C-alpha cells in the first residue's frame, strides 16, 4: 500500500509540476523546479493519507484526496513564486545579492522545515495505517 500511495503521489506531483512549469512565463531550471516538486510530492503523499478516502478507487487506492491536495499545493506555490510583481528598476533575477538576503534565507528555511514536517506526517500516517490503530489510517 505504501508503494501505491507513493506512486500516486509521485505521478500527481510530476504531472502538476510539468503543467505549471510549461505554462509559467519564466524559463525555470531544475534548481527551481526540484524544491517545488518535493513540496508537492510530500504534501500530496501526506494529504492523501490523512484525508478521509473519497471518490473512485484506482488499484484499490482512493486517488481523489491525493489529486485534490496536490492541486491545492501546486496552485499555492504557483501564486507564491517570485516574479508575480513588478520591480521598479532592478531585476530580481540579475542581482546575485538577492540570493543572500534575509527573505530568501527565510523562504529556504521554511521550505526545508515544511518538507520535514510533511515527511513526519507521512511516516506517522503510514504507521497508523499498517498497525490498524485508527480506522482507515
Which pTM value belongs to this model?
0.67
Q: Is residue 106 part of a domain?
A: yes
As for how many domains the chain has, the answer is 1
pLDDT category, 137, cuts 50, 70, 90?
very low
Task: Render pLDDT for 37-47 as a digit per residue (tens, 0 to 9).
Answer: 888 898 898 88
Q: Is residue 122 part of a domain?
A: yes
Task: Render pLDDT for 22-64 as a digit per residue (tens, 0 to 9).
Answer: 877 666 677 778 888 888 898 898 888 888 788 888 888 888 8
Q: Is residue 62 part of a domain?
A: yes
Q: Is residue 41 part of a domain?
A: yes
Four-point Cα dihedral 66, 71, 74, 75, nearest 10: -150
Over the range 39-60, which residues count as b (16 or more CB within 10 Å of their CB) and which as e?
Answer: bbbbbbbbbbbbeebeeeeeee
Task: Render pLDDT for 74-85 as a digit per residue (tens, 0 to 9).
Answer: 888 877 766 555
Q: Is residue 9 part of a domain?
A: yes
- Parent domain of 9: 2-83+97-131
Amino acid at each position: 500500500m505504501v508503494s501505491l500511495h507513493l506512486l500516486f503521489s509521485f505521478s500527481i506531483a510530476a504531472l502538476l509540476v510539468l503543467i505549471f512549469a510549461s505554462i509559467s512565463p519564466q524559463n525555470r531550471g531544475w534548481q527551481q523546479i526540484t524544491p517545488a516538486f518535493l513540496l508537492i510530492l510530500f504534501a500530496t503523499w501526506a494529504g492523501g493519507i490523512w484525508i478521509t478516502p473519497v471518490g473512485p478507487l484506482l488499484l484499490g487506492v482512493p486517488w481523489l484526496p491525493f489529486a485534490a491536495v496536490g492541486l491545492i499545493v501546486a496552485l499555492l506555490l504557483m501564486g507564491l513564486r517570485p516574479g508575480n510583481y513588478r520591480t521598479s528598476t532592478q531585476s530580481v533575477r540579475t542581482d546575485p545579492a538577492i540570493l543572500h538576503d534575509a527573505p530568501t534565507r527565510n523562504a529556504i528555511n521554511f521550505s526545508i522545515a515544511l518538507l520535514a514536517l510533511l515527511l513526519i506526517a507521512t511516516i506517522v500516517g503510514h504507521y497508523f495505517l499498517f498497525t490498524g490503530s485508527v480506522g482507515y489510517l
